[in-house]
Amino acid sequence: MDTIKTNLLAFAIGLLFAACSGPITSRGDDMSSMPDAGAGDATLACTSSQECGADRVCAGQAGCTMAWFCVPRPACSQDLVPFCGCDGKTFSASSTCPGRPYKHLGVCGGCAPQQAKAVGMCDAVLGIFWDGITCTTLSGCRCEGQDCGHGFRSMAECEEAYRSCPRDLRPDGAPCSSGTQCQSGVCEGEGCGPDQARCVPRVRICTRDLVYFCGCDGMSFMASSSCPGRPFKHRGPC
């Protein structure tokens, strides 16, 4: 009798072990096939980095027809350069991590000059801006204009942003109305009407004095008496 009980108990234990071992093994296989938490973010389409996790960034190719995706955040550069967004508005971001789709590097508006003007006689470097013909360093006390927040940190970045812009401009000595028409980028002389000033070399001998001129915008400015650097209404303050 004891032998029968012993055999029945062993048989029951064997059935219980077989029943449990199968599901445990199967459940383990199912869990190992699940994707790692957050792995789905790598293929998550996005329109800005705000839609990605803290350790990911929205990235893709320039242009507004390709989808962008959340990817692991790289070591983004700490500079700020302008991009023309797909909404037609300029925004500033890291040159290596813009964080959202964009039309092209550089401000919106094609090859038109950036609206940024240095004010004051300070030596502070306000940034590098496209003046319609070339990239130039702006220095002064403060910057005025809608593009003041979209300056470049280096000449290389600025030149890359505008490298497709035409450079077939007027030579030195040709009549002009603004520096954007001249190969040198400098148009100066008395007269604010069409082509009343002249294109002059960017590098030239200038006196080191500072005198007042009345600018074509009605604002007084100070410059070398021999090299005002732009068209003006008349000598002396406005």
Give the pLDDT of residue 147.
87
**Residue 179 φ/ψ, nearest 5 degrees:** -65, -20
In order, the DSSP letters of 17-57 are HHHHHHHHHHHHHHHHTSPPTTGGGGG-EESSGGGS-TTEE
Give the pLDDT of residue 144.
92
Listed by start position, the domains of the chain span 42-105, 117-161, 175-235
Query: In a structure prediction context, what are the per-residue pLDDT tens digits for the chain, which is 238 residues long?
Result: 444 444 444 544 454 444 444 433 333 333 233 233 333 344 789 999 999 988 899 999 888 888 999 999 999 888 888 888 888 888 889 989 999 999 888 878 777 788 898 998 888 889 899 887 778 888 899 999 988 888 887 888 788 778 777 666 788 899 998 887 888 889 999 999 889 999 999 888 999 999 999 999 899 999 999 999 999 999 999 9
Helix or strand or coil: residue 92?
strand
* Angstrom distance (rounded) from CA 82 to CA 131: 15
Element (H, E) at 59: strand 56-59
Which structure tokens are listed for 26? 């199967």
Give the pLDDT of residue 29.
30
Give the pLDDT of residue 38.
37
Give the pLDDT of residue 30.
33
Give the pLDDT of residue 167.
64
